[in-house]
Structures are given as structure tokens and as C-alpha cells.
Amino acid sequence: MSPHLIFARNLLLACTIAISVANFSVPIAANAAKSKQYWVDSPLPVESQVALERAGKYLKSGKYDKARPIIISALQSANDVPKCLAIAQYTEPYAFPMMEIRRQCCVKALELCRTEDDYLLMALKARKYQFFEVTRSAINKLIENAKTMPQLYELAKRAQEVALNDVAHLAMEKAYTGLKTQDDAFAFASTCKSLGIDDLMRKAIKQMIDDEDESIPLCDLTLNIQRYGMRDETRYALKKALDHTSKDLPTATQEMAKISETARMVNEPDVKARAEYFVKKGNLMLRQKEQAEVDERSARAARERASLDAAREADSQREQSAGFGRSDPSNANTQTQQNSHPSTGY
């Protein structure tokens, strides 16, 4: 083989090897660059990540004054809530020196909030960083944006899921002001029970009891509120029904019997015994009243008969006295003749 052919063959082999090495090394270099430039699951762009890494070198060496402008510049380029919070999270290991930077991140993130999820996230993060004024602003926005009862109930449930119990309580307090009917109150009480907000549930139940004035509706309400496990409110409703009905016992024995039956169904034996006592007392008072009415009618009839007899006796006496004083015409003529012919003595 000629020297020229040998040289060409060696040159072609060298080029093939070089191309193979280049194709193998390019992905490795790209992956290395990618792993250096991109943080896992970070919403920040590459430029902000590079800037924060440069600022991190200053932070680790204690040069906070040089790191702050770099971080603020990255914050100014952030255009949504996750990016602002990612920058704030990056400064967490440096605690107090970067506290003002984190505050600025939270304030800007609050301005960029648009949805309920954004405000909930902001309330959580601001509370974690102890920026309570930002937390209060986020919570106020959440409550302000929820306008209907379903929206307030949903907000309360979601807030409790992320351990924002105060937000759930505020949402239910606003919902309480919108109650208009008894059905709304029952739905509100059920939601409060599911969320464990017992104070508002008790408040709604007591308001329903206070709105009722008749004993029968109060008994029905007592049976309906039994499922909430509020024994104090159950007894309060029964006592109110007892007090209202006991004012007119003779005509309210049926209502009192209803109260006794309701007390038996809700397992309140003392209330049941008191209601049964009022039933017996009412029946006795009713019988006494009926007997008094019968006696009064009899006395009235006796007085009327006595008055009628007296009137008849008076009329009879007047008629008799009038008969004794009347003169006879024949006797009068005889007396006149005797007077006109005096006796001669014979």
C-alpha cells in the first residue's frame, strides 16, 4: 500500500474518533451546565438564580451590604407570587440580617396576589416570617372577597385545612351576619359543627331559640337541635317552653303534654316530671274552673228565681191592699137614707 493511502486512512480514523468523542462530551457538558444553572422545582428564571448564587457568596462571607442590592434587583424582576416567595425562602438561612429583604418580598407578593390560593399562601408565609401586618392584610382580603354564604363556607373549610383557624372563624362570623331564615341557621350550625367552631354554633342555636315564642315550635326546635349535642341549649329551649306555657295552665294542658313528651325523647327526666306536674295542675285548675262556673250559674239561677218570687209576692200584696180600700155603692145609698130620716125614738 502506498504511503499516501496509509496517511489518508489514518486521517479518516482520527476524524471519526474525534467526532465520537465530541458527541459524547457535549451532553455531559450540557447536563453539567444545566445542573449548575437550574434549581430543582424553582420558579425563578436562570438569570435570577445566577444572581442569587452570586449574592449567596457574599452572604456566606458576611458581606450583607453587597448582597442586598443583588437580591433587591432579582426581586424587582419577579412578576408573580411564587417568585417573590422563592427569593424570600432563599434568604431564610441568614435570619435577622435579611429580615427586611424578606419583608419586601412578602409585601410585593401581597400586591401580586390575585386568587384565593395566593392570599392563603401569603397568609401562611407572612405568619411564618412573623410579618403580622402582611398576614392581617392577606386575611382581610380573603374575607372581603368572599361575599356569598357558599363562598364563606368554602373559605372556612380551606383555611382550616391549612391550619388557618382564625381565618375560618372570621369567615364564619361574616356568614353569621347573613343568616335570614331558620334553614340558613341550621346549615350554618352544621358547618360550624364540622369545623369544630362550637362558639358560633352555640350562638346560632341560641338565636333560633330566642326567636321562637310559642311552645309547640320550641318543642320541634328542641328535637332538631338535639343532633348538635348541645344539652345546655336543649334545656334552655325546654325551659323557655315551660315558662311560656305555665302562664296559662288551664288552657294549655295539651302544650304542656307536648313538652313532657319532648323531654322524654331528649332524655331530660327532670323537665319531663315538671311538665307532668303542670299537666296535672292544669287539669285540676280546669276542673275547678268548670265547677266554679257551674256553681256560679246555679247561684245566678237561684238569685233570679228569688227575685222573681219576691216580685210576684210584692204584686200580690199590692193587689190585696188595693181591694181592702175600695167602697160598695149599695152601702153608701143605705147610709145616706138613714142620715136623711133621723130616728123618732120608737
How do the domains of the chain map onto residue ranges? 41-145
pLDDT at 177: 94
Nearest alpha-carbon partner for 89 in 63, 52, 118: 52
Q: Which three cell numbers stand for residue 31?
A: 447536563
CATH of 41-145, one of 2.60.40, 3.30.70, 1.20.1050, 1.25.40: 1.25.40
Model-level pTM greater than 0.85? no
Q: Is 150 helix (H, G, I), strand (E, B) or coil?
A: helix
pLDDT of residue 148: 94
Q: What is the pLDDT of residue 114?
A: 93
DSSP 242-287: HHHHGGGGGG-HHHHHHHHHHHHHTT-HHHHHHHHHHHHHHHHHHH
Helix (H, G, I), strand (E, B) or coil at 9: helix
Report the distance separating Cα 174 and Cα 188, nearest Å: 11
Distance of CA 141 to the CA centre of its chain: 21
Which residue reads 313532657 in cell numbers? Answer: 260
DSSP helix/strand/coil, 330: helix
Q: Is 44 helix (H, G, I), strand (E, B) or coil?
A: coil
DSSP label at 223? H
Confidence at residue 10, expressed as pLDDT on a 0 to 100 scale: 58
The single-letter DSSP state of residue 341 is S
Contacts of 55 (CB under 8 A, 6+ apart): 66, 67, 70, 71, 74
Q: Is residue 77 within 8 Å of residue 48, measured between CB atoms?
A: yes
Q: Is the separation of the CB atoms in 208 and 182 below 8 Å?
A: yes
Per-residue confidence in pLDDT tens, the chain, 346 aa: 555 556 556 555 555 665 654 454 444 434 444 444 467 788 899 999 999 999 999 999 889 999 999 999 999 999 999 999 999 999 999 988 999 999 999 999 999 999 999 999 999 999 999 999 999 999 999 999 999 999 999 999 999 999 999 999 999 999 999 999 999 999 999 999 999 999 999 999 999 999 998 999 999 999 999 999 899 999 999 999 998 888 777 667 888 889 999 999 999 999 999 988 888 887 887 788 888 888 888 888 888 888 888 888 888 888 888 765 554 555 444 444 444 444 444 3
Residues in the chain: 346
- Is 87 in contact with 105 (CB distance < 8 Å)? yes
